[in-house]
A and B are shown apart, each in its own frame.
Chain A
Amino acid sequence: MSARFPLFVLALTRRRRMLVFLAAGMVLFEALMVVVTRAVPPAQLFGGASGGPASALKAFSGSTGDVSLASYPGLLGAGLVHPFWIAMQLTAIGSLAAAAVAADVEGGTIELLMVRPVTRARLLAERTVALLAATLLLNAAATLTTAVGIGLSPQLRQAVPLRGVFAAGVLGWCFSVSLAGPALAVSAAARRRSQVIGATIAFGAVGFALNFVALAWSPAAPLRFLSPFHYYTPGDALAHGTLAWFPVAVLLAVGVAGFSAALPLLARRDLAP
């Protein structure tokens, strides 16, 4: 164990196998997306639909603007908002957030940790950094795989600027932060890891459904602002090669609000199994 940050190291080493599997899964999945995009041009893929794909399908391309799923950026963006990508993110976030506090409370190990001169703020800080590091690993795996795939394909290189891939990667990490913050706040107040994992899945699933419904059904359109998926637009980033700062700010603000709520919640509670 590291003498300086033992709680951070403990959180990551205990889940190192899961993180390695998730990162490997992410690499394989994004590699597959690049191969599929190269093999069948997106316009042909959706050629059967008159007038192109429905607007609600933008939810699957990661765009709120003009990026169609029937385009290279749209199809590659789909690999960054695909339910598989979301499931892997939620698994890492749910597991690491649960490990921050709730799992130690449930398992009873919190007793031995917190009778030592470890403040609750330190426990939370080291576990938050571990959570952010895990999300960084997964997003880096997805981004670098996509970047390498585009770099190796002249037709993709022409259609998608490389800086757009990194912009999408940054946006992906901000999206993860927007889920990690509230998940950590739940962990700070919860007694069981299942409560944290359930809440994390609920954030993700409800957020995705809200965005999809808002895009498909115009009366529900204002609801899209409540979903993190409205602000997470990798398709737009891939198409334009730029990072939109407002969505970044919103996603980070949600995450920071969650992290900030976690400390008072943890400070107020009893820490016994």
Chain B
Amino acid sequence: MNHTAAAIELDALTKSYGPKIGIDRLDVTVERGEVFGFLGPNGAGKTTTIRCLVGLLRPTSGRVSVLGMDPVADHRRLGPRLGYLPGELRLYPELTGRQTLGLLGDLQGAPNPRRDELCERLGLLPADLARPVREYSRGMKQKLGLVQAFQHEPDVLVLDEPSEGLDPLVQESFFGLLAETAADGRTVLLSSHVLPEVQRTCGRVAIVRGGRLVTVQAVAELRETRARRVRLVLADALGPRPLGRAEAWSPAWNGTELRLLVPPQEVADGLRELLATLPVVDLSVEEAGLDEAFLDLYRSPEQNVETFS
């Protein structure tokens, strides 16, 4: 085992199912102690990548390394140091919550020092744990999934849609757990559709689309490099008219109001031009939300593949 290695390394990782390519030459590095987001639209290859990471799928080509180990070949050594929450959590319906945690703890073969504390923090009461899982709501199953992933204090946590089904109070507890995990120097890879959650918890994100990596960037950097939302109020109500190069900035007209998404490096010049040609009576410039930044990356098919890791 390589103790100086990054926590997670994907090197030209490819997984295909016959002629269909699930993920294509993915290169991602996650450093130890990082909370890393893994994003993309449905069918982008997130779950396939995660399953390769935890050793459930064998890569067709390329390399996966977690804590310097191969998740398939070194499964026995890596398993005790790995915590995993699947995207679609399936449990044995007839087992109680307590039996489920006991079974998974037994298979882990390691002490579970935090089990009771985690149950309490996530609101799993002893009465809940005594009930069969088939009686659980989606949120309760998700809490159980989080406890089993965290209970043995793993060095690397791989969480697929972890806050799905959690109420806001439990989400807060979960964010607290994530923060403590990162503060302890442990690593979290988190796949999510909930962008505010990513914005709040992750330092960096990778975005995949169609099985390919679109970008790996710091969340703050991603936001900075994305478009600015410019709103102009005009003196007349003549509506759409030629805008010159601003035509490329997704103009949206609404009466006297014009909205544009302007690349950050063009904001100053662009505004000067618009102010010179249009009867502007009011204007505002806002940083585009992270949602828009992500959605922009999700959508644009001509986006170049970039890696900053």
**Least distance between B71 CB and chain A CB atoms (Å):** 9
- The reply to whether B75 and A1 contact each other, CB–CB distance below 8 Å, is no
- Interface size grouping (class) on chain A: 20 to 34
- The reply to whether A115 and B106 contact each other, CB–CB distance below 8 Å, is no
Q: How far is the CA of A83 from the CA of B4 in the complex (A)?
A: 64
- The reply to whether B90 and A112 contact each other, CB–CB distance below 8 Å, is yes
- The reply to whether B94 and A14 contact each other, CB–CB distance below 8 Å, is yes
Chain A at the B interface: SS class: loop
Q: How far is the CA of A273 from the CA of B78 in the complex (A)?
A: 22
Give the interface centre of B80, B84, B90 by most chain A CB atoms within 10 Å: B90
- The reply to whether A272 and B88 contact each other, CB–CB distance below 8 Å, is no
Q: How far is the CA of A273 from the CA of B88 in the complex (A)?
A: 10
Q: How far is the CA of A116 from the CA of B83 in the complex (A)?
A: 8
* A 96-122 contacts with B by CB, 8 A: 107-119
Residue interface bits A74-105, CB-to-B below 8 A is 1, else 0? 00000000000000000000000000000000
- The reply to whether A117 and B92 contact each other, CB–CB distance below 8 Å, is no
- Pick from A10, A109, A110, A117: contact of B108, CB under 8 Å: A117
Chain A residues with Cβ under 8 A from B79's Cβ?
115-118
**Least distance between B132 CB and chain A CB atoms (Å):** 12
B51, CB-defined interface residue at 8 Å: yes
Q: How far is the CA of A273 from the CA of B57 in the complex (A)?
A: 11
- The reply to whether B90 and A116 contact each other, CB–CB distance below 8 Å, is no
- The reply to whether A112 and B57 contact each other, CB–CB distance below 8 Å, is no
A6, CB-defined interface residue at 8 Å: yes
Given A1-B102, A111-B86, A119 contacting B76 (CB threshold 8 A) = yes
Given A108-B86, A270-B56, A116 contacting B92 (CB threshold 8 A) = no
- The reply to whether B75 and A119 contact each other, CB–CB distance below 8 Å, is yes
- The reply to whether A108 and B90 contact each other, CB–CB distance below 8 Å, is yes
Residue interface bits A102-146, CB-to-B below 8 A is 1, else 0? 000001111111111111000000000000000000000000000
B39, CB-defined interface residue at 8 Å: no
Chain A residues with Cβ under 8 A from B54's Cβ?
115
Give the interface centre of A7, A108, A112, A273 by most chain B CB atoms within 10 Å: A112
A3, CB-defined interface residue at 8 Å: yes
- The reply to whether A111 and B56 contact each other, CB–CB distance below 8 Å, is yes
Q: How many A-B residue pairs have CB under 8 A?
A: 72
- Pick from B56, B108, B148: contact of A272, CB under 8 Å: B56
B261, CB-defined interface residue at 8 Å: no
- The reply to whether A117 and B80 contact each other, CB–CB distance below 8 Å, is yes
Chain A residues with Cβ under 8 A from B56's Cβ?
110-111, 114-115, 270-272
Chain A residues with Cβ under 8 A from B99's Cβ?
1
**Least distance between A128 CB and chain B CB atoms (Å):** 17
Number of interface residues of B (CB under 8 A): 30
Chain B residues with Cβ under 8 A from A14's Cβ?
92, 94
Residue interface bits B99-113, CB-to-A below 8 A is 1, else 0? 100111011110000
B58, CB-defined interface residue at 8 Å: yes
Residue interface bits A258-273, CB-to-B below 8 A is 1, else 0? 0000000000001111
- The reply to whether B92 and A109 contact each other, CB–CB distance below 8 Å, is yes
Chain B residues with Cβ under 8 A from A270's Cβ?
51, 56-58
Chain B residues with Cβ under 8 A from A111's Cβ?
51, 56, 84, 86, 90
Chain A residues with Cβ under 8 A from B103's Cβ?
1, 6, 10
Q: How far is the CA of A7 from the CA of B103 in the complex (A)?
A: 8
**Least distance between A11 CB and chain B CB atoms (Å):** 11
Q: How far is the CA of A272 from the CA of B55 in the complex (A)?
A: 10
B189, CB-defined interface residue at 8 Å: no
**Least distance between B87 CB and chain A CB atoms (Å):** 9
- Pick from B57, B75, B90: contact of A117, CB under 8 Å: B75
- Pick from B55, B58, B102: contact of A115, CB under 8 Å: B55
**Least distance between B86 CB and chain A CB atoms (Å):** 5
- The reply to whether A116 and B108 contact each other, CB–CB distance below 8 Å, is yes
Chain B residues with Cβ under 8 A from A273's Cβ?
88, 90
- The reply to whether B57 and A113 contact each other, CB–CB distance below 8 Å, is no
- The reply to whether B91 and A112 contact each other, CB–CB distance below 8 Å, is yes
A218, CB-defined interface residue at 8 Å: no
Chain A residues with Cβ under 8 A from B104's Cβ?
112, 116
Q: How far is the CA of A3 from the CA of B105 in the complex (A)?
A: 9
Chain A residues with Cβ under 8 A from B159's Cβ?
none
- Pick from A2, A6, A108: contact of B88, CB under 8 Å: A108
Given A3-B106, A270-B51, 4 extra CB contacts under 8 A: A1-B102, A112-B148, A117-B80, A118-B107
Name B residues whose Cβ lies closer than 8 Å to a Cβ of A: 51, 54-58, 75-80, 82, 84, 86, 88-92, 94, 99, 102-104, 106-109, 148
In the A-B complex, the 4 residue pairs with the closest CB atoms: A117-B79, A108-B90, A116-B107, A115-B84
Can you identify 24 A-B contacts, CB atoms within 8 angstroms? A1-B99, A1-B106, A3-B106, A7-B107, A10-B103, A109-B91, A110-B56, A111-B51, A111-B90, A112-B91, A115-B79, A116-B104, A116-B107, A116-B108, A117-B75, A117-B76, A117-B78, A117-B80, A117-B108, A118-B107, A270-B51, A270-B56, A272-B51, A272-B57
